[in-house]
Structure 1
């Protein structure tokens, strides 16, 4: 019974790509930034080969890594969650999703206000915690919705749960999703509920993403169409708008994501378990919290042996990332970086360097190849280079 567990350490970049300057990300290196913290410790990932990957020089590599490893190049024109995960799943995006550094145009906001019957405040790129600090009081007093964006292709709606019930907020997001199509087809509409009293507002765990549909089939569709299980843990189901997924579970944080992964390791299924651990990006990268980022990486590394111990004979574990988010640069946005690809299992060669791969999509092609599926999705399979 073949199973692949694909874990995305959200935003765990390993150094700037050659075109980083085009994205204003020259010098970004998320792993190196995190490694400057006294709280950074990843001995288990080190044993697998993390620090043997091309270009990773923040720690010494080991003489005999226990896994196959590679450096992944993003070919899609973007550096956001949607584009990154899509490429991992086999879609190479030639054009970036639209972004709104000056806020959303009047015609979009007019349609949204008319449909919801509520006013709009902010309409700027903003930090999610700062926006409720600066606009939360006005929202509570007026009922106007806080609409904001970021460097990513997102339309975010923040609302106090006592002012806008959570299901109503989700309905507003669905309305926005229907409006934001065509040239304004942003990657995600995101519900950002919060609670508390001014000035101590806090975001709740009931965030929900409403993603644009993937433009073509992905490895998820390929697997599902061939009657394999496709299990999504964390925000994976939202990123792919449910396409190609047979079962999903949402998580509140990294620890819950790890716990759900451990539970699926104990279950009988055949196919893919696709996991996103979001805390690195959401809680620490975007807030330039170097120590927090380092602690989160250390926590994952501490929990990794429990995952490795549960792997069965035909299981393959893959660990990668979708972009960078260097917590040491002045920017609080994602960064254009290479990502790691660690491949481990009883069927996987040890001490095997695959060098620098040309696309994140090699992951998708390798996974479909492992399950014996021919597919026209993008990417080059590396299965023959690491399977014993």
Structure 2
């Protein structure tokens, strides 16, 4: 018999809480996203996360651990071989990724890939390097508008991104080119996790602005996940933010696109006031995209504080048969070298108004406990080939 009618899983994208034992194999030594943010800023106020036990997971300069947490807290290790968005989220829902997705951060995409993309799209490629989306628009936007060339770039993630001016390049043409790029990058040696259409408006450097017409072309998960199992059982699986894109729609029954992480939390608060039966799965990407990759600990700290305010608005809306889980998909230490994600443990905070217990949970060896716990609650069997053991017995 199910204990909770609704489960909210909120992913604070990239909020790691310390290095894993194998972090050095990924080039990450002494990393700690949350801990180093705290060390880098003067003030840091997160009373609701503090109540839930976040400061008990890693020492914070300004925030004390609590003796009695609101619910349960613990740390999850990643079993998969990776430290990216798709690997982290897929593992949460039961899939172990043994072969990391390809990244092209150091040298851009190989000439053979670019040549094929140019031939099939009819556009000359400019850019072809790892860059910030706003910086590459300032650098190459005017050239693209004047020539009809196509801006292609990547990042520390396994992505191929294409920019297109909505007025001159056109949305339909941008989407067509991205569909071609997705097909090309299905080859093993070029396989990226996502191809992303990055439309923008504006005519001059300094005046370019990316629009909300972004579209992600993701790989489908290589196997069935907890989301498929929930959907097949007739339960709601509601996506907020980029969850739908990460799973390429697999197992999703309803989706809400978010303009920002603050907007994503506002959407979650609205959903908490509606009646549904199943899972609300939320990704809040700004921690990662705006602050982690740009190595801005102050901006990251302020984003956490904004989240904490909305968390304070969400908590009173939770009913006795609701469960809230807060976690992350990898680290992105804004004080570390480079702009890549960092291989870290992630938080697991769990709370329901009906809980009679609280405190620290044992550290786990996989993020997949999340999907297994959700499935267990609803009496749904996890698909064959998935990993993870339920924590439901420990959430009393």
Q: Same fold (TM over 0.5)?
A: yes
Deviation at 1:368, TM superposition (A): 0.4
Q: What CA distance in whole angstroms lies between the structure 2 residues aligned with 1:348 and 1:111?
A: 57
User: Paired residue for 1:69, among 48, 68, 73?
Assistant: 73
State the number of aligned residues: 386
- Contact preservation (8 Å) 2:160, 2:196: yes
Question: Normalization by structure 1: what TM-score?
Answer: 0.96
Paired residue secondary structure (1:147)? strand
Pairing 1:30–2:33 present: yes
Q: What CA distance in whole angstroms lies between the structure 2 residues aligned with 1:195 and 1:328?
A: 32
Paired residue secondary structure (2:362)? strand
Q: What CA distance in whole angstroms lies between the structure 2 residues aligned with 1:349 and 1:374?
A: 27
Q: What CA distance in whole angstroms lies between the structure 2 residues aligned with 1:238 and 1:215?
A: 15
- Structure 1 residues 347 and 378: alpha-carbon distance in aligned structure 2, compared to 1, 3 A threshold: farther
Question: Normalization by structure 2: what TM-score?
Answer: 0.94
- Contact preservation (8 Å) 1:316, 1:348: no
- Contact preservation (8 Å) 2:293, 2:332: yes
- Structure 1 residues 187 and 64: alpha-carbon distance in aligned structure 2, compared to 1, 3 A threshold: same
Paired residues for 1:110-189 under 5 Å: 110-183=115-188, 184-189=190-195
Q: Show the counterpart of 2:336.
A: 329
Q: What CA distance in whole angstroms lies between the structure 2 residues aligned with 1:168 and 1:257?
A: 29
Paired residues for 1:231-250 under 5 Å: 231-250=238-257
Q: What CA distance in whole angstroms lies between the structure 2 residues aligned with 1:110 and 1:206?
A: 27
- Contact preservation (8 Å) 1:15, 1:56: no
CA RMSD of aligned residues (A): 1.5
Cα offsets for 1:107-163 (capped at 9, x unmatched): 322222222111101111222222222222222221111111122211111222222
- Structure 1 residues 150 and 293: alpha-carbon distance in aligned structure 2, compared to 1, 3 A threshold: same
Q: Show the counterpart of 1:301.
A: 308
Deviation at 1:255, TM superposition (A): 1.7
User: Paired residue for 2:216, among 209, 222, 233?
Assistant: 209
Q: What CA distance in whole angstroms lies between the structure 2 residues aligned with 1:208 and 1:335?
A: 25
Q: What CA distance in whole angstroms lies between the structure 1 residues aligned with 2:172 and 2:334?
A: 34
Q: Which ranges in structure 2 are unaligned for 5 or more consecutive residues?
A: none
Deviation at 1:57, TM superposition (A): 4.8
Which stretch of structure 1 is more off in the superposition, 120-129 or 34-43?
34-43
Deviation at 1:349, TM superposition (A): 4.6
Q: What CA distance in whole angstroms lies between the structure 2 residues aligned with 1:129 and 1:23?
A: 27
Q: Show the counterpart of 2:387.
A: 378
- Contact preservation (8 Å) 1:65, 1:350: no
